[in-house]
Amino acid sequence: MEKPYLRLEGITKTFSGVAANSGVSLSISKGEVHALLGENGAGKSTLMKILYGFYQPDSGRISIDGAAAEISSPDDARKLGIGMVFQKFMLIPAFTVWENILLGLKERGIFLDRAAVAEKIREVGERYGLWVDPDARVGRLSIGEQQRTEIVRLLLGGAKIVILDEPTSALAPPEVEGLFGVIRKLKQDGQTILFITHKLKEVKAVADRITVLRRGMVVGTVRKETTTDNELVQMMLGDRGVASDVFSRTNGSSPKVPCLELREIDVAAVEGRPGLKGASLTIEPGEIFGIAGVAGNGQVELGEVILGFRPVQSGRMFFQEIDITGWSTRKRMEEGFSYIPEDPLLMGVAPRLTVQENMILNDRSKYLRWGGPLGIKQSAVRQKVQEQIDAVGFSLPQLDRLASGLSGGIFRGSSSPVSWPARPNWSLPFAPPAEWTLAPPGLRTIC
């Protein structure tokens, strides 16, 4: 066992009653790539934000090379050689790469002018395969280039411990390979990497050791060579195991009627968003149907067409062989169509409603007492929500929390930097119509 270089001991962090981390202990060796693996909400980002000084833990200690580390701010962390690339990048789009990098280094006073900074950027680029044009405007760069800029900025700031929070989530496959190449070179050079992910394949590709978090607690730390995918899945999901009911429905006799069929669907491109041309597909009952492609090539639009909020120019759509091309979104949802969009806080939930209220938005007429404005039937709502939770088999944050405080929103995983104004004292009868706030009505089997 290598000597621990970085130690986190007994870290606990609670957000308004929800334990994001409970008694988390973790030892990291110098020069290793250590993956933090866990489902959404497992507490990975919170733990790393504590290490980076972004949050203060309620209790627990951190030490580096045997010495206690006092980390009260990201600035303290940077001085100790800790750098973090957040899920949402922190660069200023209107500035160039070198200006952004200089800004990050200002207090150190190492660099003075463009030429010196640009030279350093090129050096680091050569060394680690982190190529980026110092004079490019950040807002014009691809996600991959912005990410490289962030990593260059950390390295020039003297980072020896590099934390990457879900770094592959917005990258195309070749960019992911590029990033893994960078991580391997950083490791060869003696850097210590903490890599947050929920994807097993990535862990297998780059990590030396893997710590699995579940519900804010460490389940265990394993070496990559001596573990299996099954073991990792079991650690991530616990007694829910692998073969959940939801995933085993595909085995059955061969179905006769397709669940959903698109025939030659054309959709116009509008306002810089792509359209669809001759989109045809058939989805069988019980099937999990994947759509692959780089972001911005019509995936979002395809989802919107299926849900009926994008007009179709030509082509037809069938649900269990019924032509639904002209159906409204409302009618489709009544038939059991639901939609989890890529930006849940922007599109899927009403941020200023509670988790519980969001859960019943689509069915709210059922819960309104006679005369609507009198309020909603709280007991019926609670019962319904509990049934849904039991059915899908995963836990939810406290039901009375506002949706805006949850992880996995617009600012993927970070707590939202938008401060929503205090919620006025109204409740569901005045909530926006369901078409604006498409909270999934729980997972329903529709065919």
- Residues 419, 127: Cα–Cα separation, whole Å: 40
Judged by CB, which is closer to ligand ADP: 146, or 407? 407
CB 363 to Mg ion: min, Å: 30
Judged by CB, which is closer to ligand ADP: 15, or 180? 15
> How far from the centroid of its chain's Cα atoms is residue 329's Cα?
27
- Check if the beta carbon of residue 50 is closer than 8 Å to that of residue 225: no
197 phi, psi to nearest 5 deg: -160, 165
Judged by CB, which is closer to ligand ADP: 202, or 261? 202
Binds 415: which of Mg ion, ligand ADP, none (CB < 5-8 Å by kind): ligand ADP
Residues 6 or more apart in contact with residue 115 via CB below 8 angstroms: none
Binds 42: which of ligand ADP, Mg ion, none (CB < 5-8 Å by kind): ligand ADP
* Residue of 413, 428, 431, 437 interacting with Mg ion (CB under 5 A): 413
Residues 6 or more apart in contact with residue 382 via CB below 8 angstroms: 356, 399
CB 278 to ligand ADP: min, Å: 38
CB 414 to Mg ion: min, Å: 8
CB 45 to Mg ion: min, Å: 3
Binds 206: which of ligand ADP, Mg ion, none (CB < 5-8 Å by kind): none
* Contacts by 383-389, CB closer than 8 A, 24 or more apart: 384/359, 384/360, 385/356, 385/359, 385/360, 388/359, 388/442, 388/443
Token pair for 104: 């990050």
- Residues 318, 258: Cα–Cα separation, whole Å: 9
- Pairing mode, strands 33-37 and 209-214: parallel
Residue numbers of the site for ligand ADP (CB under 6 A)?
15, 18, 20, 38, 40-46, 397, 405-407, 413, 415
Judged by CB, which is closer to ligand ADP: 40, or 227? 40
Residues of this chain, 32-61, that bind Mg ion according to CB under 5 A: 45
Judged by CB, which is closer to ligand ADP: 251, or 419? 419
CB 412 to ligand ADP: min, Å: 9
Judged by CB, which is closer to Mg ion: 83, or 315? 83
Judged by CB, which is closer to Mg ion: 45, or 358? 45
- Residues 189, 148: Cα–Cα separation, whole Å: 17
CB 54 to ligand ADP: min, Å: 10
Is residue 344 a contact residue for Mg ion (CB under 5 A)? no
Number of neighbouring beta carbons within 10 Å of residue 264: 12
Binding positions for Mg ion, rule: CB under 5 A: 45, 413
